[in-house]
C-alpha cells in the first residue's frame, strides 16, 4: 500500500514536471519561431534585393549608353530622332516613359511631349546633388507611384532648352511584376524605403496595409501594435544602413517585418509577411509535439496507477517501448518539416539546407529552376482548388523527371526546383531542360477541364557556373527570367508624366 502511494505521488510530481516542461517548451518554441522565421525572411528578401540591384544597374548601363550616343547628334531634330529610336525598346523594357530632364524641371519625352514637371523634382534631386546615376520615385497627380532611373549626361540642346539628364520611369505595378514580389505564395509585402521611412517602391500582392501609404514608420506608429523601443531601433538601424527584424500586430493579425540595406543610396528593403504563413509548417510540428507529450504524460500516469504491482522488468520494457514510439514520431515530424504540405515535394527550407550541404561537401550537381507560365489565369478561371490540383499534377510529373537519388522541391507558389546529382555538360543540360519543359507542357485534365500550361526554366551547374550556391541560385533565377522573356508576351505602357 505504501509503495502504491509512493508511485501515485511520483506520478503526480511527474505530471507537474511535464506540465511545467510543456509551458517552458512553448515559450522556447515561440522564441525559436521568431529567430528562425526572421532569419529565413532576411535570406528571402536578400534575393529580392539582389534582383532589384541588378535591374537598376541594367537600366543605368543602357541609359549611360544612350546618353553618350546623344552627344553625336548635331541638332535638336537629331536628338528627337535618337530618342524615338531608343524608345523602340519600350515593349521589351516595359517602362512608362523615356525622357530628358534638367535642373529647371523641364522635360522632353521620346513621344514628342515636353513641359515642366516640378512635382517630380524629388526623384532627380539626389542625382544632381551627387552627379551619379540614381533611382527615385514620385507620385503622379492621379495618386499612382512611379519609380524613375536617372543618369547624368553631357548637356544636350533642343529648341533652345538644355537637358542634363536622361531617365526612364516605371509604373510601380509594372516594376513589381518585373523584379518579383511573390515570396511565401504571394502572402507578403515588400518595400524599398529611404532612411526617413518614405516609400520609394512598394510590392503589395496581398497587402493588408494601405496601398497609398507614404511613410512606413509613421504608418506603423499610428496604426500597428508595435513595441516602441523596437520601432525606435528599426528607425535607427535603417538610418545607419543596419539590418534586423520586428514583430507587430495590425488588423487582428500578427506580422513579421525584416529590413536590410539595399546597398546604394542609403535605401533599405523591408519585407512583411503574415506570421501564420511563415510559421504554418513549424506550428504543425509544435502541435504534434505537444500532443505527443500530453499523450506520453497520460500514458505514464495511467501506467503507474494501474500497474503499481508490475515488476521492474515490465516497467523498463514499457518505458523502452514508449521511447521507441517517441523516436519514430520525431523522425516522422522531421520529415514533415522538410515537406511541402500541398504537393508532398521537398520545401524551400529543405532546398536551402540541401544547397548548403552540397556546397560544404563540394559535390557537383545541376540546378533546374522552374516557374509555371500562365498559372494565375488558371486560378482566376477555375478557382484555387483546380489550381492546387494542377500544382500537385505538376509535382508528380517533376518527380518522374529525376532519380531516387536526386531532389524535387516546391519553393513557393508556382516555383519549383530540381537538383540532379553529378556532373552534366552544357549540351545534356539543355536537352534535359527541354525534356522537362516538354513533360510539363502536356495537357492536364482536371475536374473535366482541359488545361494547358508551360514553364520557364533556368539551369546552372555547380561548381562550373559558380562555387557559391547563393550566387548559383540567383543565376538560375536570372536564366529562368530570361527564358520567360523569350517566350512571354510584352505589353506597352503608354502613360505620360
pLDDT digits (tens, 9 = 90+) for 7-34: 667 667 766 766 776 666 666 666 666 6
pLDDT of the residue at 297: 64
pLDDT tens column, 141-159: 777 888 999 999 999 999 8
- Provide the phi-psi class of 419: left if phi over 0, else alpha when psi is between -120 and 50, else beta: beta
pTM for the structure as a whole: 0.51
DSSP bridge pairs for 449: 446
Q: Is the pLDDT of residue 182 over 80?
A: no
Domain range annotation of the chain: 2-22+283-333, 56-170, 176-277, 348-487
pLDDT tens column, 97-144: 999 999 999 999 998 889 999 888 988 999 999 999 999 988 887 778
56-170 and 176-277, same CATH topology: yes
Quick one: CATH architecture of 56-170?
A: 2-Layer Sandwich (3.30)
Q: Which of 293-307, 343-357, 407-421, 449-463 has the lowest mean pLDDT?
A: 293-307
CATH code of the domain occupying 176-277? 3.30.450.20
In the CATH scheme, what is the homologous superfamily, with its name and number, of domain 348-487? Reverse transcriptase/Diguanylate cyclase domain (3.30.70.270)
Amino acid at each position: 500500500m505504501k509503495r502504491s502511494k509512493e508511485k501515485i505521488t511520483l506520478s503526480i510530481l511527474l505530471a507537474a514536471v511535464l506540465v511545467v516542461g510543456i509551458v517552458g517548451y512553448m515559450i522556447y518554441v515561440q522564441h525559436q519561431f521568431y529567430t528562425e522565421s526572421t532569419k529565413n525572411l532576411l535570406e528571402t528578401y536578400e534575393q529580392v534585393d539582389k534582383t532589384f540591384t541588378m535591374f537598376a544597374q541594367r537600366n543605368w548601363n543602357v541609359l549611360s549608353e544612350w546618353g553618350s550616343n546623344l552627344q553625336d547628334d548635331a541638332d535638336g531634330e537629331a536628338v528627337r530622332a535618337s530618342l524615338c529610336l531608343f524608345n523602340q525598346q519600350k515593349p521589351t523594357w516595359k517602362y512608362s516613359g523615356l525622357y530628358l530632364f534638367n535642373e529647371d524641371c523641364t522635360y522632353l519625352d521620346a513621344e514628342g511631349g515636353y513641359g515642366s514637371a516640378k512635382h517630380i523634382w524629388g526623384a532627380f534631386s539626389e542625382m544632381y546633388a551627387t552627379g551619379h546615376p540614381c533611382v527615385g520615385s514620385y507620385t503622379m497627380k492621379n495618386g499612382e507611384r512611379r519609380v524613375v532611373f536617372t543618369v547624368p549626361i553631357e548637356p544636350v540642346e533642343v529648341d533652345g532648352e538644355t537637358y542634363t539628364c536622361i531617365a526612364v520611369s516605371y509604373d510601380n505595378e509594372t516594376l513589381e511584376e518585373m523584379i518579383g514580389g511573390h515570396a511565401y505564395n504571394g502572402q507578403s509585402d515588400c518595400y524599398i524605403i529611404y532612411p526617413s521611412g518614405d516609400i520609394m517602391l512598394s510590392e503589395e500582392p496581398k497587402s493588408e496595409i494601405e496601398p497609398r501609404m507614404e511613410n512606413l514608420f509613421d504608418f506603423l506608429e499610428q496604426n500597428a501594435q508595435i513595441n516602441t523601443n523596437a520601432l525606435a531601433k528599426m528607425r535607427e538601424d535603417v538610418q545607419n544602413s543596419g539590418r534586423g527584424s520586428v514583430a507587430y500586430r495590425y488588423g487582428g493579425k500578427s506580422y513579421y517585418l525584416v529590413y536590410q540595406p539595399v546597398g546604394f543610396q542609403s535605401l533599405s528593403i523591408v519585407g512583411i509577411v503574415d506570421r501564420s504563413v511563415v510559421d504554418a509548417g513549424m506550428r504543425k510540428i509544435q502541435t504534434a509535439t505537444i500532443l505527443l507529450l500530453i499523450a506520453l504524460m497520460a500514458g505514464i500516469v495511467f501506467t503507474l496507477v494501474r500497474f503499481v504491482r508490475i515488476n521492474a522488468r515490465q516497467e523498463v520494457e514499457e518505458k523502452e517501448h514508449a521511447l521507441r514510439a517517441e523516436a519514430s514520431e520525431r523522425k516522422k515530424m522531421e520529415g514533415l518539416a522538410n515537406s511541402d504540405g500541398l504537393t508532398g515535394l521537398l520545401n524551400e527550407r529543405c532546398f536551402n539546407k540541401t544547397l548548403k550541404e552540397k556546397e560544404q561537401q563540394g559535390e557537383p550537381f545541376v540546378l533546374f529552376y522552374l516557374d509555371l507560365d500562365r498559372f494565375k489565369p488558371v486560378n482566376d478561371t477555375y478557382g484555387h482548388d483546380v489550381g492546387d490540383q494542377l500544382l500537385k499534377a505538376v509535382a508528380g510529373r517533376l518527380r518522374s523527371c529525376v532519380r531516387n537519388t536526386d531532389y524535387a522541391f516546391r519553393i513557393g507558389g508556382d516555383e519549383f526546383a530540381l537538383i540532379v546529382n553529378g556532373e552534366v555538360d552544357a549540351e545534356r543540360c539543355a536537352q534535359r531542360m527541354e525534356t522537362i519543359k516538354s513533360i510539363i507542357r502536356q495537357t492536364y485534365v482536371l475536374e473535366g477541364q482541359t488545361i494547358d500550361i508551360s514553364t520557364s526554366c533556368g539551369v546552372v551547374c555547380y561548381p562550373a557556373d559558380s562555387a557559391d550556391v547563393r550566387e548559383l541560385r540567383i543565376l538560375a533565377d536570372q536564366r529562368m527570367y530570361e527564358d520567360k522573356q523569350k517566350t512571354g508576351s510584352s505589353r506597352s505602357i503608354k502613360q505620360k508624366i
